[in-house]
Amino acid sequence: MTTFSAYANEIDDAMKRVGPAYMCGPEYEYRASLSDLKSALLDAGVPESLAVYAVTGISEWIVKEHSANRKTMTAEDCNRVYDR
């Protein structure tokens, strides 16, 4: 039986892509990163309703906390902060 910890890296990698995709990427990249996070949670055995709830909450928090910064983010900022 595979444990949840076996999926920790996949979930962690997906989480790390969400913020930079929102701040520096096009909308489709942000949506894809959220979809990847949901898939990683489902692969780990998280029930779909809980995975959707988690991804929705993460997305709402990112938008709430970072929407003002996103408008002023420059290519240099993206390169410096997110190495993109």
Whole-model pTM: value is 0.85
Joined tokens for residue 34:
């959220």
The DSSP symbol for 25 reads: S
Query: How high is the pLDDT of residue 43?
Result: 94
Count CA atoms closer than 13 A to 78's CA, side-chain side: 16
pLDDT over threshold 90, residue 71: no
pLDDT over threshold 90, residue 84: no
Query: How high is the pLDDT of residue 82?
Result: 84
Beta-carbon count within 10 A of 74 CB = 9
Beta-carbon count within 10 A of 57 CB = 10
- The pLDDT tens digits of the residues spanning 3-51 come to 667 788 999 999 999 999 999 999 999 999 999 999 999 999 999 999 9
Query: How high is the pLDDT of residue 4?
Result: 64
Query: How high is the pLDDT of residue 57?
Result: 97
> Which among 8, 74, 63 has a CA at the least distance from the CA of 31?
63
